[in-house]
């Protein structure tokens, strides 16, 4: 990791010094164990504070739609981040000419909740050492297999390698079968309709409508979100099954063909709602029905931006 970090830092410094970008978006050390903070480097000196490790849990592409579009921006991207950037560029949200993407193949994000579930909350130190995560709490030292402590989306990830980037730092990793991300949705479908709805209800019940999922998601950038509409009132702002279920269903649906399965939404949620079971189902359908793998290339039209007379005739009688 250290060589990779140094190489990332060197590249970040270079593009700042040479005036290729106005700002580089990366991470710096967090104030809590197991966390890192998104960090904006405006001058070469700032780069000294850059970190890159398994605690960097945000999808940095989400900042693209919040920054001044005239700026030239450098972003450090993993697989999912780069696919999100590519999709945003395809949706004309940013000019690719103004972006400089530093790609880094990804070994997954550590799920701090999974660690705390084992160790309790009082973590004095957390380090990634090789394949392991070493934790110290006041009572004892813990060692975990890093692979077991990864966030669920990372465990399922088929695309660790960045795409469409200007430079790749670090060794490329084996790509997986895109279908592997969706095994869980197939298992879910084996449940009865009643059980599926019960699961959906229970997950939706905890929601406090903080919209952290929306803000953490790079693909949610509407200047007016449908939840804020009053005429018509699609989703009441009350914490009720009606409003909250509508929120979950429609937000997931608006991601169909756009979601990169990064899991940033789940990591952002303060109530531990694991909503990727919805978006993964939609992504699976996009792959199975339309052969579309989000962020795969720059040309393919997302399924809902196109249509064809050849579309399945399932219901045209």
Partner 1 sequence: MNHQPRIVVFQCQFCLYAETDQHWMDHELPANFKLVKVPCSGRISPLFVLNAFQGGADGVLISGCVPEMCHYKEGNLGARRQLDEFSRLLKYIGLEEQRIRFAWIDVNQRGRIQQELASFEKDLADLPRNERLATRTPVEQGALQ
Partner 2 sequence: METRLLKKSQLLSFIAGLMEQQAVFAPVKNGDFTQFQQINQADELDLESTHNTRYPPKALFQPQSEPLFEFRDGKFVSLLGEIQPRIIFGIRPCDVHALQLLDTVFNAEGAQDPYWLAKREKTTIITLGCEQPCSTCFCTSVGGSPFDRRGSDLLLTNMGDYFAFEVVTERGNALVQSMPVAADGQANDVKDMQTKAEASFPKAFDPTGIRDKLYQLFSSNYWKKMQESCLGCGVCTYLCPTCFCFDIVDEKQRNQRVRNWDTCMFRVYSQEASGHNPRPTKLERTRQRIMHKYAYWLDNINEIGCTGCGRCVRYCPVNLDIRWMIQTAQNWVEA
Interface with partner 1 by CB under 8 A: which residues? 185, 188-189, 193-200, 226, 232, 234, 236, 240-242, 245-246, 249-250, 252-253, 256, 278, 281-282, 285, 289, 303-304, 307-309, 311-312, 314-317
Q: Which of 113, 141, 186, 191 binds partner 2 (CB under 8 A)?
A: 113
Q: Which of 37, 65, 93, 168 binds partner 2 (CB under 8 A)?
A: 37
Closest CB 235 distance from partner 1, rounded Å? 9
Out of partner 2, partner 1, none, what residue 84 binds, judged by CB under 5 to 8 A for its kind, is: none
Q: Which of 9, 58, 82, 107 binds partner 2 (CB under 8 A)?
A: 58
Out of partner 2, partner 1, none, what residue 311 binds, judged by CB under 5 to 8 A for its kind, is: partner 1
Binding of partner 2 by 222 (CB under 8 A): no
Binding of partner 2 by 123 (CB under 8 A): yes
Q: Which of 14, 155, 196, 209 binds partner 2 (CB under 8 A)?
A: 209
Check if the beta carbon of residue 33 is closer than 8 Å to that of residue 113: no
Out of partner 2, partner 1, none, what residue 317 binds, judged by CB under 5 to 8 A for its kind, is: partner 1
Out of partner 1, partner 2, none, what residue 5 binds, judged by CB under 5 to 8 A for its kind, is: none
Out of partner 1, partner 2, none, what residue 151 binds, judged by CB under 5 to 8 A for its kind, is: none
SS (H, E, C) the chain: CHHHHHHHHHHHHHHHHCCCCCEEEEEEECCCCCCEEEEEECCHHHHHHEECCCCCCCCHHHHCCCCCCCCCEEEEECHHHHHHHHHHHHCCCCCHHHEEEEECCCCCCECHHHHHHHHCCCCCEEEEECCEEEEECCCCEEEEEHHHHECHHHHCCCCCCCCCCCEECCCCCCCCCHHHHHHHHHHHHCCCHHHHHHHHHHHHHCCCCCCHHHHHCCCCCCCCCHHHCCCCCCCCCCCCHHHHHHHHHHHHHHCCCCCCCCCHHHHHCCCCCCCHHHHHHHHHHHHHHHCCCCCCCCCCCCHHHCCCCCCCCCCCC
Q: Which of 172, 198, 222, 239 binds partner 2 (CB under 8 A)?
A: 239
Contact residues for partner 2, defined by CB under 8 A: 30-33, 35-40, 58, 62-63, 66, 113, 117, 120-123, 208-212, 214-216, 224, 228, 233, 236-240, 264, 267-268, 270-272
């Amino acid at each position: 990791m250290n060589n990779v970090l140094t190489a990332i830092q060197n590249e970040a410094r270079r593009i700042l010094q040479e005036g290729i970008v106005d700002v580089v978006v990366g991470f710096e050390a967090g104030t809590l164990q197991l966390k890192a903070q998104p960090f904006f480097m405006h001058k070469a000196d700032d780069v000294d504070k850059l970190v890159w490790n398994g605690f960097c849990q945000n999808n940095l592409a989400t900042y693209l739609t919040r920054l001044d579009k005239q700026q030239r921006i450098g972003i450090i991207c993993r697989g999912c981040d780069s696919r999100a950037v590519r999709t945003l560029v395809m949706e004309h949200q940013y000019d690719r000419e103004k972006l400089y993407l530093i790609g880094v193949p990804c070994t997954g994000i550590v799920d701090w909740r999974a660690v705390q579930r084992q160790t309790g909350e009082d973590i004095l130190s957390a380090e990634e050492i090789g394949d392991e995560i070493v934790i110290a709490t006041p009572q004892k030292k813990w060692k975990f297999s890093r692979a077991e402590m990864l966030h669920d989306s990372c465990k399922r990830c088929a695309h660790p390698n960045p795409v469409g980037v200007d430079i790749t730092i670090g060794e490329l990793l084996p790509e997986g079968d895109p279908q592997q991300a969706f095994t869980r949705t197939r298992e879910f479908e084996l449940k009865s309709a009643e059980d599926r709805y019960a699961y959906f209800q229970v997950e939706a019940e905890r929601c406090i409508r903080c919209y952290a999922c929306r803000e953490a998601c790079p693909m949610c950038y509407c200047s007016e979100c449908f939840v804020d509409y009053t005429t018509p009132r699609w989703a009441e702002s009350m914490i009720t099954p009606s409003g909250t279920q509508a929120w979950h269903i429609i937000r997931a649906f608006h991601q169909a063909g756009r979601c990169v399965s990064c899991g940033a939404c789940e990591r952002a949620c303060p109530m531990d709602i694991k909503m990727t079971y919805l978006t993964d189902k939609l992504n699976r359908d996009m792959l199975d029905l339309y052969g579309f793998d989000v962020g795969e290339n720059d040309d393919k039209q997302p399924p809902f931006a196109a249509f064809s007379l050849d579309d399945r005739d399932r219901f045209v009688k």
